[in-house]
Structures are given as C-alpha cells and as structure tokens.
Amino acid sequence: MTAAGGIIGFLSSLTATGGASLTVPFLVRHKISLHQAIGTAAAVGGPLAIAGTLGYIVAGAGKPGLPDWSAGFIYAPAVAWIVVASMAMAPVGARVAHRTPGKALKRVFAIVLYLLATNMLVSSFA
C-alpha cells in the first residue's frame, strides 16, 4: 500500500490531476466499494495536494519570469479561487455521489477519466 501511495502521489503530481483519478480505480480494484473509495480519495487528496504544492513551490523557487503573487510555480490568486470553489462545491458533490447508484457513478467517473486523458493526450501533441 505504501508503494501504491507513493506511485499514485508521484503520478498525480506529474499529471496535475489530483489523487482521486488514480486512487479511486486502485481502491475499487482492491474490493473497496465505489462510494468508500471516493470518500477515501477525498480524504487522501488533502495531504497529496499539500505535498504537490510544496514540490512546485520548491521547484519554481527563484525562477525568472514568474508573475507577481507567485510562490515558485504556484500562483496564489488561482489557488485562492480554487480553494473557495472547492469548499463551496464539496458538500454538493458529496450529496450527489451518495445519492447516485454505484453503477451510474462508475460510468460517470469513467467518462470523466476518459475526457481528462483525452484532453491531456491532445494537449501534449498541440
């Protein structure tokens, strides 16, 4: 589990996707219900985000050409808006997830992952 956590954290940081995109499928594959996997991924997402943020701050420290209000590669105004939006919408997402049957939730999650992967693939060749 420690190795899986390290790999998920490393890949999530590289792809800037957040840990849930890899944690949920990993947990579901290991016989955890989808609803529990989503809740666990949400709990794991905080420390993963902090570690990734600190890594981008350190990696970008002292780099020239970064905008004002940046700490390394982290742009503080964007972080502030993301935090506000996430905190406002997290309860809504939790309610929707708990009211959605597991099979439908799996399909929606698969579609989101497919769209995310497609977007990343297209943007890497653009």
pLDDT (tens digit, 9 = 90+) per residue, 2-60? 898 888 888 877 777 777 888 889 999 999 998 899 889 888 888 878 888 899 999 99
d(CA 94, CA 90): 6
Domain that holds residue 92: 2-125
- Please give the pLDDT value at position 30: 94
φ/ψ region of 67 (left if φ > 0, alpha if ψ in -120 to 50, else beta) reads beta
Say how many CA atoms lie within 13 Å of 36 toward its Cβ: 8
Angle between the 102-125 and 20-29 helix axes, to the nearest 10 degrees? 130
Domain count within the chain? 1
Using CA atoms, how far residue 5 sits from 25, 45, 47, 124, 125, in Å, is 13, 11, 11, 26, 29
For 64-109, write each residue's pLDDT tens digit. Answer: 999 999 999 999 999 999 999 999 998 998 899 889 998 998 899 8
Report whether 26 contacts 8 (CB < 8 A): yes
> Residue 79 corresponds to which tokens in the numbers above?
């972080």
d(CA 1, CA 7): 10
Buried b (16+ CB within 10 A) or exposed e, 91-113: eeeeeebeebeeeebeeebeeeb
